[in-house]
Structure 1
Amino acid sequence: MKNFKNYIFEYLLIFITIILTISGFWNIFFGTDAKPKPYQIFHLIVNFSWLFLMLYQLTLIGNKQSQKHKRVGLSILFFGPLFFAQAVLLAIHSAHKGFVSGEGDFMIVQNVLGSIELGLIILLAFILKKRRKIHAAFLISTVVLMLGISIFFLLLAVAPELIGYGMYITFFVGLLFFLKDRRDGWPILASSSVFIINDYITTLLIKLEFIKPLTDFVGSLNQAIAFFVSFIVLLFLLISTGITNKRRAGTLRKNYR
């Protein structure tokens, strides 16, 4: 119970995001004409793997199991790049549908920049891993991004006219985290603002008539190659932060005792 009280904001964020994510996938998997496609099944598995990894890590921190937390944290070497790569894959898939149909992709900027921002957030979490609270804030920021996406699709399904408010709800959540911890909560506030920033960039690109060229370019990319390259690039960058060094050193010390 003490663990929950200490991290009540974080637990509520993860639980609410899980619930909203379930609602977003519900019709795809359990609707009247449910016929989930392979990429949707993959998307479901990756999203929930990440959410439950964040939940498990939060529980370990709350129970002061720091060594186990570090060991489990190494799994992000796989799940982080996987999470990022599937976001890239979905962005290209969405753009490809718009490219082929000729209808365009109204989410192109949010999808493309959102994927890049997600990868950057995961990378920054480990570049700044020695500052534990900042490290944790960046990882929680990935859940905030998922919350924002879940809110978007929920509003799209039940109240399309209110869809623009989703990004402000997400920003408000980030603001609450920042007010709770003004010293180390800034990554969450910054991450919660990306939807508003991306929306502004969308408006700018529309005025410059760059949306269609961007959609055509992204939609023409090979999805399999983009997925593989995205995974490898982030994996390499995470390894370059030294994430495995302490683990290797600890193993060597244990072997020579």
Structure 2
Amino acid sequence: MRIKRNNINSAFLLIVILVSIAGFWNIYFGLDSNPTFYQNLHVLTTFIWLGLLLIQLVYIELGKYSSHRKLGKSIFVVGPILIATLVLLSVHSASKSAARGEADMLVIQNIFPAIEVAMLIFLGFLFRKNRILHGHFLMSTSLLFFGIALFFTLISFVPEYKIEGPETFYRFETAGITATYISVAFGLVLFLNQWKSGWPWLLVCVLFFVNGYIGQIIEGADKMVSLTEFIGSINEYAAFLVTLLIVLAVLILSFLKRKTTTN
């Protein structure tokens, strides 16, 4: 039964990777492709994280638990860099829109998943002694990446969602809603397949709707430009460094505290 569940998780991870490739495709192979340093860093860290999750599943399926534990220590490096990069990208995107006096259409999609990925990684680390729950928390981060990648895939390749001018900007919202529902459907399948311990998947499903609701509140209050200006006013490199140090410190302190408690 455990092997079957791992196979399902592995299959979903492969889907996430393929959809991510599609989502990033135009950045590198589109007509006006000109990837920036920020995009290159984001792509690199995203695929390193997804690849790390996939390798860990393979180790578990092969019974290589010692290799699994050794590779798991890379979370002290990969985790902080991944989250810091997500924050850096959020600030950079907001700063570009703020410079034009516009709202960043992706500000909610950028900043909240960054915080939520950090939360899931921290919870996965906190519950590392519970191997099953630990795995669900870390694996469920892939659902957030799937939702974002699917959004960009839709607006890049599906005619009904492509942005072709100001009159079609509403398609951003339509693509976001569609990506959310598809992501939640996948999340529910993964939760139901392992419902006794798979509630982290359900948590991520709820987060999709929470993000959407918060976005509606901010937009309804006409505060999207203000939020963009606030996030865009943060120094990019300070945001990256501070986030990196905070996440690293939290992981190390949690590790030391748990080790002290165990001893």
TM surpasses 0.5: yes
For 2:220, the equivalent position in structure 1 comes to 207
Instruction: Determine if the alignment matches structure 1 residue 22 to structure 2 residue 35.
Output: no
Q: Judge conservation of contact 2:109–2:148 (CA < 8 Å) in 1.
A: no
| Structure 1: runs of 5 or more not aligned | 250-257
Q: How far apart are residue 5 of structure 1 and its match? A: 4.0
Structure 1 Cα separation of the partners of residues 140 and 54 of structure 2: 13
- CA offsets per residue over residues 4-39 of structure 1, 9 Å max, x none? 644222111111111111112222112233221111
| Residue 103 (structure 1) shift | 2.0
Structure 1 match to 2:117: 118
Instruction: Tell me which residue corresponds to 1:197.
Output: 210
> What's 1:133 paired with?
132
**Aligned partner of residue 106 in structure 1, secondary structure:** coil
TM-fit CA distance, 1:243? 7.0
Whole-angstrom CA distance in 2 between matches of 1:3 and 1:209: 48
**How far apart, in 2, do the equivalents of 1:24 and 1:166 lie?**
12
Within a 5 Å distance, the mapping from 1:1-257 to structure 2 comes to 5-157=4-156, 158=158, 159-160=160-161, 161=171, 162-163=174-175, 164-242=177-255
> 2:201, 2:256 → 1: CA distance?
22
Q: In structure 1, what is the Cα distance between the partners aligned to 2:5 and 2:115? A: 32
Runs of 4+ in 1 over 6 A off after TM superposition: 243-246
What are the Cα deviations for residues 38-79 of structure 1, in whole angstroms up to 9, with x where unaligned? 111111111111111111111111111111111100001100
User: C-alpha distance in 2, partners of 1:178/1:213?
Assistant: 37
In 2, Cα distance between equivalents of 1:214 and 1:38: 24
Matched-pair identity in % = 36
After TM superposition, the score normalised by the length of structure 1 is: 0.90
The aligned residue for residue 252 of structure 1 is none
Distance 1:100 1:206 in 2: 19
RMSD: 1.9
Consecutive unaligned residues of structure 2, counting only runs of 5 or more, are 162-170
Contact 1:173 1:192 in 2 (8 A): no
Q: How many residues align?
A: 246
